[in-house]
Amino acid sequence: MQTVAVIDYGMGNLHSVAKALEHAGSHQVLVTGDPAVIREADRIVLPGVGAIRDCMAEIRRQGIDELVREVSQDRPFLGVCVGMQALMQRSEENGGVDCIGLFPGAVRRFPGGMQEEGESLKVPHMGWNEVSHVLDHPLWHGIPDRARFYFVHSFYVEAGNPRQVVGRGHYGLDFAAALADGSRFATQFHPEKSADCGLQLYANFLAWDGRW
């Protein structure tokens, strides 16, 4: 049986991610912070919630940043929510935090005073929102363009390379909802909270060979 490692660095909605992955396929799901187990896994997920400063502090303290750089090169790798933001070069949250740097670009805070059709938009952006398919990708298989996914975030990804943006959301402004590069894929939304489309994305991830 193939394995998928959900990286446990002390922060993240690990239980819900693991349960969704178990429901989406037949892989053995391992929630672990053990580098040896992570290196042996066939697929890897980096989840994350909370403040990026705290996430990156734990990621660096445990050497997860170097491990992620290593293992995401040669097998399917998925970053989710703050796990996506941690893959960028830098976040302006908490006064500015350097991140892992696998994707060029920065994490910005949604500006105050945003409006849409005369309605004030609250920050954080919380709830269901459409995701437009910018580029075709195996992880979009069976998921309609502009399907709705569940978001919870006050900060958004400003991609440094537009060719890596495979999904786009809009909340007062356009933002990168999904990025891809080689065997790496990352989502700002939470697939595990996104009903059938989220489970389909996880199923696609479990079936994906990492080529794009």
Reference 203, options 138, 148, 149, 158; nearest CA is 138
Q: Which residues are paired to 133 by β-bridges?
A: 167
Active site residue 116: no
Marked catalytic residue, from 27, 55, 190, 197: 190
User: Would you call 8 helix, strand, or coil by DSSP?
Assistant: coil
CA-angle at 99, arms to 57 and 200, nearest 5°: 100
Marked catalytic residue, from 27, 125, 153, 192: 192
Marked catalytic residue, from 55, 81, 99, 197: 81
Q: Output the six-digit token pair for 179.
A: 């990025």
DSSP 164: G
User: Would you call 185 helix, strand, or coil by DSSP?
Assistant: strand
Active site residue 133: no
Q: Output the six-digit token pair for 139.
A: 């992880």
Phi, psi angles (nearest 5°) of residue 143: -110, 120
Using CA atoms, how far residue 89 sits from 14, 98, 161, 167, 197, in Å, is: 24, 6, 12, 19, 29
For residues 25 and 19, give the distance between their C-alpha atoms in angstroms, rounded to a whole number. Answer: 10
Active site residue 190: yes
Active site residues: 81, 190, 192
